[in-house]
Structure 1
Amino acid sequence: MINPSLPVAVITGAASGLGLDLAKQLATQYQLVLIDLDLKLLQEQCGQIINAQLYGCDLANKDELDELITQIKAKHYSIALLINNAGITHRSLARITRPEVIEKVMAVDYFAPVRLVSGLIEPLQQAHGKIVNISSMAGWMPVMARAGYCAAKSALHQYFETFRAEMRPTGVSVLMVYPSFLDTPIDKNALNGDGGKTNHARSMVGKMRTSDWMAKQICEAIRLDKQRLFPDRFTYFSALLYRLIPRLYMHFMARKFASEWEVA
C-alpha cells in the first residue's frame, strides 16, 4: 500500500545490487518509483517492498524512456529524490570495440540520466528535490579496456557539475557518487567488444565493497546534503595521482591491468 503523505523517490536499476539495497533502505521514508530493464526480476525482488510502484523500461530506448517519464509525471506532482543508478559497462580494448557497444553504454550511463532529469525537472523543482548520480572514479581517470565506460562517466560528471551550479537558485541539488569496485551485477554483465557478455575476469585495485555498504554511505550523504561522495580513499588518491603525475599513474595502471590486453 502506498502512503501518499511520503515524498517520492525514483530509483533506476532497482532490481538488484546497489539499486535494490537503496530501495530497501529508503522504503520507509519515501514513496518509491522503482525502474529496471528486467521487470520480472524487479517484481520478484521488490514486490514486498512497501510504498513501491514498479516499472519496466529499457533506458537505452528513447521512446520507452519518454513514455516512462510521461507516466511518472501523470502520477506525481513533485519528486523529492531521483537516483540515477542503472548502468552498464564493457571490458574490451577500444580498438576492437564496436561503436554500437560504446553507444549503448553512453545511452544508459549518460543520456538516460540527462533525459530523466530533463523530463522530470518540473516535479523536481516543485519539491526542491535532490538528484543522485552513481558515477565512478573511472570518470576521473582512464581505466584500461573501459574506454566507453570512462567516457560516459566523464560526461556524466561534467554535465551534472555544471547543472548543479545552474540549478542552485531553484533549490534542486545534486549529489555525485564516485565508487570504485562494488560487488554488483554491472561488472558480472559487462559487454565485450561485439556487444555480447564478456567472460573475461575483471582486474581491479583497492578493496571490493558490497552494495549494502555503498547504499548506507549514499543514504548518509543524502541526509547530510552532500554534493560529492568519495567512499573509497584508495581510488580517490589514484585519481589525484593521475591529475598530478599522469605518466606515473599510466605506468601503474598498465601493470595492474596487464591482463586486459587480452580482452576481446
Structure 2
Amino acid sequence: MSAADVKRFNRSKVVVVTGAAGGLGWALVQSLVKAHAGETPLRFALVDVNGEALAARGRELEQQGIDADVFVADLSSESAVAELCERLRALYPHVDLLINNAGITHRSLSTQTTNTVIRRVMAVDYHAPVELAQGLLAPLRAAGGCVVNISSMAGWMPVLGRAGYCAAKSALHQYFETFREEVREEGVRVLMVYPSFVATDIDTNALSGDGGRARHAQSTIGQVRSADWMADRIVAAQMAGKERLFPRDKSLLGAYLYKLAPRLFLRQMVKNFRVELEEGRNLVRE
C-alpha cells in the first residue's frame, strides 16, 4: 500500500448532508453515527438554509465528540450552490458520502401554480443535487464515494396537486440513473431512495401556488413513516451497496398499476387526492 493509500484509509470519513438541520436529514446524521460507532470516525459537513437550527445541530454533534462543520446555503440559488461546492472542495479533498436530502414541495394545482414556485421546486429538488454531485465529483472520485439522493415515489407516477414536485423527482431519477453508469468505473456509487410518505417538515412547509404556505392538509396513502425509521433503512441500504431503495407499501403497488393500467391508476388517484381538486375550486371562488 502506498503512502497515499495509507493516508486515504487512515482519515475520517467525510459526509456531506443537505437539509441537515431537521427532519430526515438530521435523522440520517444520527443513524450514520449509530451505524459507524466504533469504526472509522465521521466528519460531517451539515448544510441547511436555517442557520440557527443548523448551528445547534453542529454543537450537538461536537458535544458527542464528533467533528462537524456547518454551511448555511439557499440551495435554490445556483450561485450559492457553486460557492458551497467551492468551499467544500477547499476543505475536503475526499468526500465519502454526499446525501442530497434537502427538498421542498408544493400543494397546488398546476394551473394555479406560478412559474416562480415551479422554478424554486426544480432548483432545490433537481438542480441542486445535480450541481452538488458535479461540483464534488473530484473529492468523490478520490474517496471512492457514494451519492445518496432522496427522491420520491412521486417521480414514478403523477400525484394531483404536486405537478412541479413530480417533475423534479422524475428528472432527478433519470439524471442519476444515467450518471451512475457514467461514473461506475471511476469507483463512485449512487443510491437512489424512493420514499413514500414520511413525517418530515417538507410537507409541513409545502408551498401554495402563489409561493405562500399551503393551507390544506397533506393527502396520504398508506402508513406515514417516521424520519428515524426511514433513515435507518437508507443507511442500511447504503452500507450494503444497494443502488435503489423502494418502499414496500401501496405507493409501490400504485407505481406498477400506473405502468400496467394507467387509466385505472388515474381514476384511483383522483379519488384518493380529491381534496386537491376541491381546494383548487375554492380558490377560484375566492
TM over 0.5: yes
Q: For 1:15, give the aligned amino acid.
A: A
Q: Please give the alpha-carbon distance, in whole angstroms, between the structure 1 residues aligned to 2:165 and 2:16.
A: 23
Q: Secondary structure at the match of 2:15?
A: strand
Contact 1:18-1:212 at 8 Å conserved across structures: yes
Stretch deviating more after TM superposition (231-240 or 141-150): 231-240
> Among 253, 267, 271, which residue is 1:255 paired with?
271
Q: C-alpha deviations, 1:74-118, integer Å up to 9, x for none?
A: 111110100000000000000010011000000000000000011
Q: Flag the structure with larger Rg.
A: 2
The one-letter amino acid paired with 1:18 is L
Pairwise CA RMSD of aligned residues? 1.1
CA distance in 2: counterparts of 1:40 and 1:207, whole angstroms: 32
Is contact 1:87–1:186 with CA below 8 Å preserved after alignment?
Answer: yes
Match of 1:135 in 2: 151
Matched, 1:77 2:83: no
Q: Percent identity?
A: 51
TM-score, normalisation: structure 2 = 0.89
Are the equivalent residues in 1 in contact too, given 2:58–2:69 (CA < 8 A)? no
Q: 1:26, 1:137 → 2: CA distance?
A: 24
Check whether the contact 1:179–1:232 (CA below 8 A) recurs between aligned residues.
Answer: no
Query: Aligned to 1:23, which of 7, 26, 29?
Result: 29
2:128 corresponding residue in structure 1:
112
Q: 2:56 aligns with which of 44, 53, 56?
A: 44
State the number of aligned residues: 261
The amino acid of 1:40's aligned partner reads: E
Measure how far apart 1:187 and its partner are.
0.1
* Partners of 2:15 and 2:42 within 8 A in 1: yes
- Structure 2, unmatched stretches of 5+, are 1-9
Counterpart-to-counterpart distance in 2, 1:118 and 1:46: 26
TM-fit CA distance, 1:233: 2.8
Q: How far has the Cα of 1:45 moved from its partner?
A: 3.1
- How far, CA to CA, are the matches of 1:143 and 1:231 in structure 2? 17
Give distance in 2, aligned partners of 1:184 and 1:122.
32
SS state at 2:60 partner: coil
What CA distance in whole angstroms lies between the structure 2 residues aligned with 1:101 and 1:137? Answer: 21
Amino acid aligned to 1:41: A
Q: Is the Cα–Cα contact under 8 Å of residues 96 and 193 in structure 1 kept in the other structure?
A: yes
Taking the aligned partners of 1:91 and 1:232, their CA distance within structure 2 comes to 25
User: C-alpha separation between the residues in 1 aligned to 2:215 and 2:113?
Assistant: 15
1:203 corresponds to 2:216: no
Of 17, 21, 40, the residue aligned with 1:11 is: 17
Tell me the CA shift for residue 232 of structure 1.
3.2
1:194 aligns with 2:210: yes
Letter matched to residue 92 of structure 2: H
**TM-score w.r.t. structure 1 length?**
0.96
